[in-house]
């Protein structure tokens, strides 16, 4: 993989003295093709797709269909109609949570490292509908405890309705064995939903090979436009979901006293769509489809090893997750004993133009449970980051620790 060649595709990285952008777990940078696709929509056919039959509307409809087809291919989805455009993974997970039918006592299992988007909907349903949300504890190093998971599944028996888990944690970059988890889940007669926000941008995901039921993702973490996400689900399961937003093309027709729901994906895409976002998302997926995703993953691990090896022994610094950086993908997340993570993030930016994330990363539950109320400092790499940037992060961090400790 030619990192320097990739960097030429990103306008912010072509600038002289471009900053070291290591906040990719939050949002990735955008390549020219995505920016051009959005601009093309607004300057050449800024119409309404799926409704109007004039030339603008027809062109938009075609472009959106092309984007949906690209995404289905990227996921190896059996049908293009199983791909739903959303605002982000949060909306996608809420569509699953609030679209399913629940009975009091139904059990939902998550890990203890979930983003709020895959925790709060279940807590809400627990309060409002009486479901039973349970947490599968991780091993001490945050890796997945498959034995504990199997024990809980056996314990709850036929009450198990859904397993909903992040494939890769935004907290620490640790991945879980989704294929094995899916098998255990199905053996117990339940469904599995995957939060793929941190896996789909960084590794090859085949929904059929993994045998999962749903996957939610954020396209803004995949070189796509902000405000764009997606949901894939098996066709029969999507047919059973109620839409959490209705109106517009979510129905085939309506009368004063009745309605007929549209088939997916239209059922879940109510209201005027973010057409520029959908078209830009298609350009992003076409861009990623040309990449060797295995090589992308290995490149990120290489950068993480550089960052981790240089800072793991610094006084007052603890890396969240396994000691082996290869088990943490491209994420290096640090706890500090004395220094403010927010102050450190500001110093990294102002002194060396290194951009990282500081705070709780929407994983409040994990930090609160362990008393780390200020969160962590998180550097997250992507395909366009360089070894020099990884060293700049670790060298600058070491200077900050030595000066202010």
Query: What are the catalytic residues?
Result: 362
Of 122, 135, 237, 239, the closest CA to residue 186 belongs to 237
Of 334, 362, 351, 395, the closest CA to residue 90 belongs to 362
Centre a 10 Å sphere on the Cβ of residue 298 and count the other Cβ atoms it contains.
Answer: 14
CB 117 within 8 A of CB 176: no
SS (H, E, C) the chain: CCHHHHHCCCHHHHCCCCCEECECCCCCCCCHHHHHHHHHHHHHCCCCCCCCCCHHHHHHHHHHHHHHHHHHHHHCCCCHHHEEEECCHHHHHHHHHHHCCCCCCCEEEEECCCCHHHCHHHHHHHHHHCCEEEEECCCCCCCCCHHHHHHHHHHHHHHEEEEEEECECCCCCCECCHHHHHHHHHHCCCEEEEECCCCCCCCCCCHHHHCCCEEEEEHHHCCCCCCCEEEEECHHHHHHCCCCCCCHHHEEEEECCEEEECCCCHHHCCCCCCHHHHHHHHHHHHHHHCCCHHHHHHHHHHHHHHHHHHHCCCCCEEECCCCCHHHCCCEEEEEECCCCHHHHHHHHHHHHCEECEEECCCCHHHHHHHCCCCCEEEEECCCCCCHHHHHHHHHHHHHHHHHHC
CB 37 within 8 A of CB 275: no
Query: From residue 120, how far is each of 53, 179, 181, 270, 295 by CA, in Å?
Result: 41, 25, 22, 23, 34
CB 84 within 8 A of CB 269: yes
In angstroms, the CA 405 to CA 401 distance is 5
């Amino acid at each position: 993989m030619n990192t320097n060649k990739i960097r030429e595709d990103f306008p912010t990285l072509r600038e002289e003295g471009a900053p070291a952008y290591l906040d990719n777990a939050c949002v990735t940078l955008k390549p020219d093709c995505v920016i051009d696709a959005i601009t093309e929509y607004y300057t050449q056919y800024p119409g309404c797709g799926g409704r109007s039959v004039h030339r603008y509307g027809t062109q938009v409809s075609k472009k959106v269909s092309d984007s949906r087809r690209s995404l289905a291919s990227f996921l190896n989805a059996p049908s293009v109609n199983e791909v739903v455009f959303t605002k982000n993974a949060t909306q996608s997970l809420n569509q699953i949570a609030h679209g399913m039918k629940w009975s009091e006592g139904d059990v939902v299992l998550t890990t203890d490292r979930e983003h709020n988007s895959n925790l709060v909907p279940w807590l809400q349903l627990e309060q409002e509908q009486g479901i039973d949300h349970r947490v599968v504890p991780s091993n001490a190093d945050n890796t997945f405890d498959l034995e504990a998971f199997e024990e809980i599944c056996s314990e709850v028996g036929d009450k198990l309705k859904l397993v909903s888990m992040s494939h890769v944690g935004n907290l620490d970059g640790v991945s879980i064995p989704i294929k094995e988890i899916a098998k255990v889940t199905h053996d117990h007669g339940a469904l599995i939903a995957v939060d793929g926000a941190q896996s789909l941008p960084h590794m090859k995901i085949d929904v059929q090979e993994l045998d999962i039921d749903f996957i939610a993702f954020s396209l803004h973490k995949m070189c796509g436009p902000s405000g764009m996400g997606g949901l894939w689900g098996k066709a029969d399961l999507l047919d059973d979901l109620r839409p959490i937003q209705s109106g517009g093309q979510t129905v085939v027709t309506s009368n004063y006293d009745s309605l007929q729901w549209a088939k997916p994906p239209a059922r879940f895409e109510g209201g005027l769509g973010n057409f520029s976002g959908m078209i830009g998302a298609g350009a992003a997926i076409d861009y990623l489809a040309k990449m060797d995703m295995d090589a992308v993953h290995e490149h990120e691990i290489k950068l993480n090893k550089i960052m981790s090896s240089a800072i793991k022994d610094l006084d007052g610094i603890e890396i969240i997750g396994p000691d082996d950086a290869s088990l943490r993908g491209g994420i290096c997340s640090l706890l500090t004993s004395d220094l403010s993570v927010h102050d450190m993030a500001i110093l990294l930016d102002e002194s060396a133009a290194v951009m990282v994330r500081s705070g709780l990363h929407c994983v409040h539950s994990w930090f609160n449970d362990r008393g780390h109320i200020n969160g962590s400092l998180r550097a997250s790499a992507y395909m366009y980051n360089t070894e020099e940037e990884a060293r700049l992060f670790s060298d600058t961090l070491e200077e900050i620790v030595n000066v202010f400790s």
